[in-house]
Chains A and B, each alone.
Chain A
Amino acid sequence: MGFIAVFIWSFVLWLVLTAGSKGLLWSPEELVAGLIFSGVIALTTKDIIGEKASRFLNPAKWVGFVVYSIGPLFWGMVRANLDVAYRVITGRIKPGIVRVPVELENDAQYTILSNSITLTPGTLTIDACPEEKALYVHWINVTEKEPANSEVIAGSFEKWARRLGR
């Protein structure tokens, strides 16, 4: 299964890179070369990408990723940028590192949530500890020293990460 996941993942990037070789589409020789190179890449990296990577081949998940990135994530970034601009001008900051307990099961969920928290300015994930089910987050304006869940830092991101990475 790892082979198929890597193959499709790299072939899609090849298609994006070589688009426009015949009008707006792909010439047959580019397609054949893409199949060969993706096959080589898939053979060499099939046990690096992880055993369960093929769950991301589910189209419902792609829709989820698109909706998440142009919906909650983009909106969260806009809001957080404005908030940081306000803090830059007024200088009202109270920085600190807080421990955020999270309810996630696998690596992909931790990665999605940590990257979302880091992408929204003002919060920066320092470490993810799956064994104690917590993230350590550097926060520009600490309002709660020991948050009970990630709601106050990340809003709805944890719910989305749980759904997208499952």
Chain B
Amino acid sequence: MGLIVKTTARATIPLIGIFGAYIVSHGHLTPGGGFQGGATIAGAGILFLIAFGLGEMKRRYNHHLYSALEGLGGLVFLGAAMLGLGVAFFYNTLWHSGPVFNGEPGTLLSAGYLPVMNLAVGLKVFAGLLSAMVAIAAFRRWNE
């Protein structure tokens, strides 16, 4: 893309990233959550891909890292769900008797495992969507 698109992308990619992080981390307080925030952050990555081109993206994109991050997101979600396995699967033990995330409802550190799960889902969605877009962009040639 041209110079103006590139310069604007330089300035806005961090802003899109922090806004997505805000949506993910406030999923239990405001509209949004893991998927919406993760898709927003993936939008920053796609903006990078479109503004700077596939060559620049290939230099910075590590397939193994993103694959591992996606797996990590899923595992953290599962781990948070298993925390209260003594009572039941998905039992919110952090909220009922946990050491953290059991603050006053309405504050950031409340709602038990929900913020953890939102972060996990956000990470998974970001890594998955961005890898999918890079894979599509790197498709070898246009087939008739």
Footprint of B on A, CB under 8 Å?
6, 9-11, 13-14, 17-18, 21, 27, 29-30, 33, 37-38, 40-42, 44-45, 48-50, 53, 107-108, 110-111, 114-115, 125, 127-128, 130
Contact = CB atoms under 8 A, between A and B. Distances in A.
Interface string B1-45: 011101111110111011101100110000000000000000000
A49 B14 contact: yes
Contact of B18 (A37, A110, A127): A37
Nearest to B25: A33
Given A21-B107, A107-B3, 7 more contacts: A18-B22, A29-B109, A41-B21, A49-B11, A108-B7, A110-B4, A128-B4
Interface of B: 2-4, 6-11, 13-15, 17-19, 21-22, 25-26, 48, 103, 107-109
Contacts of B26: 18
Contacts of B48: 48
Contacts of A45: 13-14, 17
A38 B21 CA distance: 9
Contacts of B2: 127-128
B10 A49 contact: yes
A146 B141 CA distance: 43
29 contacts: A6-B14, A10-B14, A10-B17, A13-B15, A14-B22, A17-B19, A21-B107, A21-B108, A27-B107, A27-B108, A29-B103, A29-B109, A33-B108, A37-B18, A38-B18, A48-B10, A48-B13, A48-B14, A53-B10, A107-B6, A110-B4, A110-B7, A111-B4, A111-B7, A111-B8, A125-B4, A127-B2, A128-B3, A130-B3
Nearest to B15: A13
A54 to B, nearest CB: 13
Given A21-B107, A29-B108, A49-B11, A111 B3 contact: yes
